[in-house]
Structure 1
Amino acid sequence: MTHPTTEGWLDPEQVGPFIEHLSGWIGYAFDLTDWTAFEHGLPRTDLEDNRWFEYPLAGTPELTVRAAYDANSGHVTLELTGAIDPVLAARIETAFELLSRGPNRKWPLPLDL
C-alpha cells in the first residue's frame, strides 16, 4: 500500500534539513542548486492565497514537494506526493514530528556531564 500524499509543517529553518533527509531516503543527491531553487521559490508562496512552490525529487520513488509559507503561523506547510510506501511514510512523519519541535527546545533539566 502506498500513500499518495503525506503532509506536515515546519519552521522555515527546518525545511532544508528535512529535504536533505528526505532526499537521502530516496537516493536523490540534493545539492546547492536544488536548495537555491527553494530559496527563490518559497518567498513567493502564500498558503492563504493558495500559492505553492513545487519541486521534483527524482529519486526512487520520484516525489514532488509542494511548499507554502503560512504568514499567520510562521510555518511552512509541505505536501509530498508520489508512491510513498509505509516505511517511507513513517520516516517522513517521524521527521516532521522531530523537526517541528524546533532546534531550540529546552529540556526540563540540564545534563550534568
Structure 2
Amino acid sequence: MWHSDWMAQSDRERAVEGWIWIENVQPFLALLARYAGCDFDGADWQAVELGLEATDDEHPDCWYSYPLVGSDHRLKVHLAQAVGGNEVSVRVAGTSNPELLLRADTLIAAFATRLVA
C-alpha cells in the first residue's frame, strides 16, 4: 500500500510523500516538472539516476534531493531507494499551492501502481 501525508513545514509550505516503483521515477519527475512549469530532460534524469544510487530510505541523511524550478513553482523532490527492493520513497515539498500538492499526491498514487499491459 502507498502512503501519503500532508505535512506542515511552515504556514507557507506543505509536503506530500509516499513511494513509487523505481521504473516510474523518470516519468513521475517529468510530469511533476511539467506541472511546476519546468523542463525535465536527459541531463536532469542523469543527475537523479546517479544521485539515487547511494540512497537508503531507512536513513534520513541518505536521501537525494532534486530541485524542480519552473516558471510557476519551485519544488524540492526528495528520493531514496528501498534497500533490496524496487520501491523509491518520495517526498515533494516547497510549495503551498494546494492544486500542485494534489497533483503531486495523485502522481505518487498512480506511480505506486504497476499497470498490466
Q: Establish whether TM, by shorter chain, passes 0.5.
A: yes
**TM-score after normalising by structure 2:** 0.80
- Matched-pair contact (CA < 8 Å) for 2:13–2:96: yes
Moved more, 15-24 or 3-12: 3-12
| 1:4 partnered with 2:33 | no
Identity of aligned residues (%): 32
**Bigger-Rg structure (1/2):** 1
Deviation at 1:72, TM superposition (A): 5.3
User: Which structure 1 segments of 5+ residues have no match?
Assistant: 107-113
User: Which structure 2 segments of 5+ residues have no match?
Assistant: 1-10
Give the superposed CA RMSD: 1.8
What code does the residue aligned with 2:82 have? D
Deviations 1:62-105 (A, max 9, x none): 1111100112553100111111411111111111112211133x
Aligned residues: 105
| 1:92 partnered with 2:93 | no
Moved more, 24-33 or 77-86: 77-86
| 1:28 partnered with 2:38 | yes
**TM-score after normalising by structure 1:** 0.83
Q: Which consecutive segments of 4 or more residues in structure 1 shift more than 6 A?
A: none
